[in-house]
Amino acid sequence: MSELTKPLRRTCATEDVHKRLLRESSKYREARTQIENMTLNLMEDTSRNAIVDVVKIPIVIHVVWNKPDQNISIAQIKSQIDVLNRDFRAQNLDVSQVPSEWKDLVSDTLIEFHLATKDPNGNQTNGITVTQTTKISFSHDDDSVKSQSSGGADPWPADRYLNLWVCPLEGGLLGYAQFPGGPDETDGVVINYIAFGTVGTAQAPFNLGRTATHEIGHWLNLRHIWGDDQSKPNKCSGSDQVEDTPNQAVPNRGSNTIFPHITCNNGPTGDMFMNYMDYVDDKVMVMFTKGQVDRMHACLNGPRSSFLQQPILV
């Protein structure tokens, strides 16, 4: 990887993309305000926000590669799908790491992800597209991986498929997502090919598929657990808009955080650093909470309701 920087710690550019879209688009600003108001109302109205049957999200994986080793295998792609379905259904074995104080908060999202079996024209597909590119790497700044004209791959309709691009990312970036409310042509998730799945090119400490779990959490409208206020003088002023995740000062990183890790007067239990929406290494993040699940369900009952209404494409 001479042209690329190997990620040494977790980095996610979702918040950067969010801030860029807020600056550039009044339509996005208005949409985000409406979505957050809708989310709040749905989370307060449990009858309207109830999801009792498993929601199956059709996913299309766009592999965009420059060097042959970046053209990941079907086995690697399937390993990532397996991780997503264990993590989002709370069936991951390492959920046992959750401290006893929080075990009652661990929640099954009732969301599963399956490679699409029909393409936008109704033809049979394996849910994977493969594109060779002349670009050495991609950045979140321009979303160029999401367009064939700029060296990437065009998305499938964003109201019918979760588009996920796997590619070489520059600057040590692991991945990023677009919150609901953004442009359809850039809606989806991008993951570095060395942080995708559990086999092949996946490299420790990001080789357990949790980068995709984290980023799809964003796609379903979850925020970082510390509220993205780490650059402010008062690092305890932000919020992820979920009541059962403790307020914390900054992202936790690596794999050496010991429970309890107290910040923001959040004792005695401290930071929920084992949450998928923190920045710890893959082997440490193991859970979503009930409140986070409620927020994801509000997303599916709100801005991403097309995934509840469409014919099954998986």
Q: Is 101 a catalytic residue?
A: no
Options 44, 112, 215, 243, the catalytic residue: 215
The sign of the dihedral angle between the CA atoms of 294, 295, 296, 299 is positive
**Full DSSP string of 239-287:** --S-TTS---SS--EES---S-B--TT-TTTB--TTBTTSEE-TTT--B
CA dist 266 and 258 (Å) reads 15
Q: Two tokens at 257?
A: 């955080």
H-only helix segments in the chain: 14-24, 26-44, 74-88, 210-219, 290-301, 306-309
Pairing mode, strands 189-192 and 175-177: antiparallel
- DSSP string computed for 178-215: --TTS-GGG-SEEEEGGGSSSSTT--TTS-SSHHHHHH
Q: Please say whether the beta carbons of 77 and 193 come within 8 A.
A: no
Asked whether the CA dihedral 255, 257, 260, 262 is positive or negative, the reply is negative
Cβ neighbours of residue 1 closer than 8 Å, sequence gap 6 or more: 194
What is the per-residue burial (b if ≥16 Cβ within 10 Å, else e) of 54-63? ebebbbbbbb
Looking at the chain, the number of H-run helices and the number of E-run strands are 6, 8
Active site residues: 215
